[in-house]
Structure 1
Amino acid sequence: MIAPLITGLGPVGGFGAGVGALRNALAGESRPEAYRVDLTPLERYLNRRATRRIDRFSQIGLLGACLALEDAGLSGGDLSRVGLILSSGYGPLRTTFSFLDSVLDDGDCLASPTHFSNSVHNAAAAHIGIQLGLTAPCMSLSQFELSVASGLQLARCWLAERRVDAVLFGAIDESCPVVDYCYRRYFGPAGERLEPWVLQRQTAVPGEGGCFMVLQVDPSAGRSYARLDRAEVCGISPGPKSTGSEDAPWVLGCDGHAGIGPRYAALLPAGSQVAAYAGLYGALPVGQAFDVTIAALGLEGGALYPCDPLPEGLAWQPAGHLGSTRVNCLKLAATGWGLVGLESV
């Protein structure tokens, strides 16, 4: 299978918007006070009139898409051969529940048509395609925590089949009062901060945001962060048996959920080099997209960014300088796993 280049990145989260904001957060120069997205930077690309009927979920996607295309040097160019793949674990939650509220409050006849149209899962992809002029194949995927690996797997297939010349891949999830209520109801009050390495105790704090990336095959595509060498999804086995490079460091999707955390400890052998960055973006189904973005930045610079220190009792080693040319990004879910492998250019 072809290994496309990652030529543009567009991260959006509580840390800010863009590669520069993410680098600053990773370097410890800033840390989000809350895992909520500020959409003010979107006004650089689209005026308020164009976005006034577009919901928050889709606006997060539009901001990430514009940032990724700009980073890849494709803004304003011919995008007719750029495919769009959008992944989300939960979809437009705020809009969906707002529509349901309008049904309950006003009945079927007076339910909000705007909320209804934006609550459809592929509405965000439609908004992105219309605003940016994307006319190539478009797909929306939802596979909960495995949505990112599934979407990147499809992107590799499209490029291998030459359906498109490039793929704009994005992953978005948002928080809402219903999610906050569910966290309190099922997990108890949220702690003061998410602690990725506390595997046995619930510390997850709901997050929101999106990560977009441009994938291209053409080696003359300008600057490249890394190659997407592997994208696999499995809904049965507890974890991957082989990564193709056993000495490669792991970026783990540990996001404070005690129901999943112990499985990481059982899966990886002692001495494994690991990192986890959920403390920067919060707990959300598409958190693996942030991990892939951070791993790509690390491969470009030759070292993974520092993260929360490992506590005593975990027999792993902190990942730092990359002695390997690969990085594995692993996300475990309730019934499976998603693995994304990157290699240096």
Structure 2
Amino acid sequence: MKTLLRLLLKSQHQRNRSGPAQTEKGMTLVELLVGSIMAFLIITPMLTFVVDMLNTDRREQVKSNTEQDIQAAADFISQDLSQAIYIYDNNPATTSTPTTTPTGIPAIRSQLPAPANGTPILVFWKQQPRKNSIPYNPKVAETVKPKTCDTNPGKCDDTYVLSLVAYYQFKETDPNSIWCQPSGGTCPTRIARYEITDGIRNPNAASIADLYYSDTETKDTQRRDPAFNPDFDFTKPTVNVTVPTELTKPQSGATKPQVLVNYIDHTKNSDTALLGTECRTALGNPIDQRTATPIGETTLKVTDTEGINSFYACVNTEKNIARVTIRGNSLRRIQANDADFKTTSSAFFPITTVQVKGLGGYGK
């Protein structure tokens, strides 16, 4: 009995020393709601700021990419034009206009590639170098041919061949095309290049039939494009430009456009219209030396038929000068809609211009 009483007293004493029982207390529903609202008010502006910053960064990036792309395209065209011997303007005269000498693209349109939705903007003849490609004398030519010049050092010379170069502006109509991404909306336009090249001619040919080396004596790059017309003469620059029946042959460069740059602006509105005197002003109000009269804007300016004017050329054929202008569209890289040119967003439509004088004459 004493032992039991002692245990009860000891237990009571321990409870008194441990103090009152502790209770756990959490957040009330009101406190949780207030905290959530405060977090929302703080985090939402921060997220909006981050999203805006990312969108701005993305726009600046595509703007920079577009500027670089069109500048690279302009540089390529400039280098190409520097070898030009004859540049076609937009003179509307044709062979059926006896009072005016045909000099322009309209006179040779039927002799150029005719791709769907493509418009020729810049067309010219150039000299294309062919290094170490022709035996340097008839004696060497008996055993060495253009195809084997590389394996016979010191026995061949460099030469040149003629090339007809044409830059086209293509308007894409397929919204699912790789050239129209992101899909939907109006597709951007693009610039592509065609080249139709002569082959290496045999200086020792005994007849016209032997004008060119045979296929067994040449490499692919040394052979004549089937659409190249051997009868072309610079004194008649709109005659025998190509062999029209061969323009669709798969072996011809006329069927192999090389895309130079995409995302060229597609917009046609009042903001993209030209003033009407750009080319005359840019080229210094040129005078036709044959008639001593000013060359008209219509003759100098070569642009698309729809008035987009995002890729056009000002050409003075007499002086062998061309001024090329390209306008890109960086907005179309990231959005299918609301990507038309506006003066308020002109920063996203970079423009570059190059003016080049060609060689000035065949063989110069």
TM-score for the superposition, normalised by structure 1: 0.24
The structure with higher relative contact order (CA 8 Å, sep 6+) is 1
TM-score for the superposition, normalised by structure 2: 0.23
Larger radius of gyration: 2
